[in-house]
Amino acid sequence: MNNIQNYLIFYNIGKYLARSAIIFQYTRTGKWNLVYSLNASIAGLVAITDPCVYVAPWVSVLIGLTSGILVTLGMDLIESLQINDPVGAFAVHGINCIMGTLSVG
């Protein structure tokens, strides 16, 4: 695959990220939440940054789905620990950067 094909595949993964987070959040709470969906889109891009050269396109979809769920769980964990993170920056960047780094190996 050339670089343009890789870019287009990984760029379109955001659709899966937002869907996985919003469906996961809806099954847990019964409410639609746009913030979780938007954070999941960013989290998926963070998670795929490290392994994008080394993984196949189908693995990038799995990484995207996993990061959407991890950002939801991470934001809930930070809220339950009463840590002040109003936009979910640690759940988006911290947790999913760790997951992306681990998925390289």
pLDDT tens over the chain, length 105 residues = 556 666 666 666 656 666 778 888 889 889 888 888 888 888 888 888 888 788 887 888 888 888 888 988 999 999 999 999 888 899 899 999 999 899 887
Task: Give the helix, strand, coil percentages of the chain, each rounded to 5.
Answer: 80, 0, 20
Rounded CA separation 60/77 (Å): 25
Indicate yes or no: pTM above 0.85: no
